[in-house]
């Protein structure tokens, strides 16, 4: 049942993003930023953790989950370190994901040659 909940919740997030691309003038980059910001805001209001508890990976894997992880990391660092935690908490909490993205980008750039679109 966990897989079904994750699939449905993650699919709803994707469906909503696709509708925004199709029905608005927002670019995909702006929509992705909105997803991260929405995750931060919902986490700050205490509304995203119940979604994570319900949908599991369906809520943590999409970009809203990245925003949730940023907010949770900042909250934890503030409790531990005080004011400097505002600046360090988000990076500490998301360092693994950021490192994986950079490493994957480097690997792909080494394996493949870019081509002209024409």
Query: Each residue's pLDDT tens digit in the chain (118 positions)?
Result: 899 999 999 999 999 999 999 999 999 999 999 999 999 999 999 999 999 999 998 998 888 988 999 899 999 999 999 998 899 898 888 898 889 999 999 999 999 988 887 7
Q: How many CA within 13 A on the CB side of residue 31? A: 17
Measure Cα distances from 12 to 21, 37, 55 in Å.
14, 17, 11
Measure Cα distances from 109 to 5, 103, 105, 115 in Å.
35, 10, 6, 12
Q: How many Cβ atoms from other residues are within 10 Å of residue 21's Cβ? A: 14
pLDDT at 53: 93
0.85 exceeded by the pTM? no
pLDDT at 114: 80
pLDDT at 52: 92
């Amino acid at each position: 049942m966990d897989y079904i909940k994750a699939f449905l919740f993650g699919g709803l997030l994707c469906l909503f993003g696709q509708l925004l691309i199709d029905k608005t003038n927002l670019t995909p980059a702006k929509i992705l930023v909105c997803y991260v910001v929405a995750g931060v805001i919902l986490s700050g209001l205490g509304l995203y953790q119940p979604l994570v508890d319900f949908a599991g990976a369906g809520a943590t894997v999409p970009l809203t989950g990245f925003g949730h992880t940023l907010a949770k990391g900042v909250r934890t660092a503030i409790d531990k370190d005080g004011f400097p935690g505002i600046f360090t908490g988000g990076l500490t909490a998301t360092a693994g994901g950021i490192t994986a993205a950079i490493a994957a980008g480097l690997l792909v750039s080494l394996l493949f040659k870019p081509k002209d679109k024409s």
